[in-house]
Amino acid sequence: MKISVNNINTGKILEKKIREKNLSNKAVGEAINRNGLSVFKYMANQSLQTAVLIDFCYALNHNFFSDIADQLPLEFTKNQPRTDQRNAEKEERIAQLEEENKVLKIQNDILLKVRK
C-alpha cells in the first residue's frame, strides 16, 4: 500500500496510547477479539482501517479520531468545532461571566448600603 506524504501515523498514535495505559498487547487484543500479535502489527502499521480503529476506540475508551483530527490543519472544515476551540470559547465566556458577576456584586453592595 502506498502511503501518502500527508499520512498521519495511526499505528504510532495507537502504540502511544496503549503504552500510556500500560496495557499488554495480549490484553488489548482480547478486548478487540484479536491476538496480541495482531495488536503489535497494527501498532507497526502507518495506517489502520476505520473499522479496526473504532474497535480500538471502544477497547481503550479513547477517541483516536479526535487525535487524528487535531493533527490536520486548522483551516480544514468540519461539522464540529475543534475541542480546543470550544474550550477557548468556554473560557472566554467564563471570563465574561466572572466579570459580570463582579459588577453585579458591586451593584448589590451599593443597593444594600443605599437601603440602610
CATH number at residue 44: 1.10.260.40
pTM of the predicted protein model: 0.67
| Whether 17 and 51 share a structural domain | yes
Q: What is the pLDDT of residues 68-114, one digit of tens each?
A: 999 999 888 777 666 778 888 899 999 999 999 999 999 999 998 88
Q: Which long-range contacts (CB under 8 A, 24 or more apart) does 79-82 make?
A: none
In our burial notation (b when 16+ CB lie closer than 10 A, e otherwise), range 64-93 reads beeeeeeeeeeeeeeeeeeeeeeeeeeeee
pLDDT at 50: 96
Q: What is the pLDDT of residues 30-42, one digit of tens each?
A: 999 999 999 999 9
Range of the domain at 113: 81-116
| pLDDT top residue among 23 and 5 | 23
| Whether 70 and 42 share a structural domain | yes
| Whether 16 and 56 share a structural domain | yes
* CA 9/CA 19 separation, integer angstroms: 16
Phi, psi angles (nearest 5°) of residue 16: -60, -45
Phi, psi angles (nearest 5°) of residue 35: -95, 170
Number of domains in the chain: 2
- The answer to the question of residue 2 being in a domain is no
* CA 68/CA 56 separation, integer angstroms: 14
Cα atoms found within 13 Å of the Cα of residue 27, Cβ hemisphere only: 7
| Whether 61 and 12 share a structural domain | yes
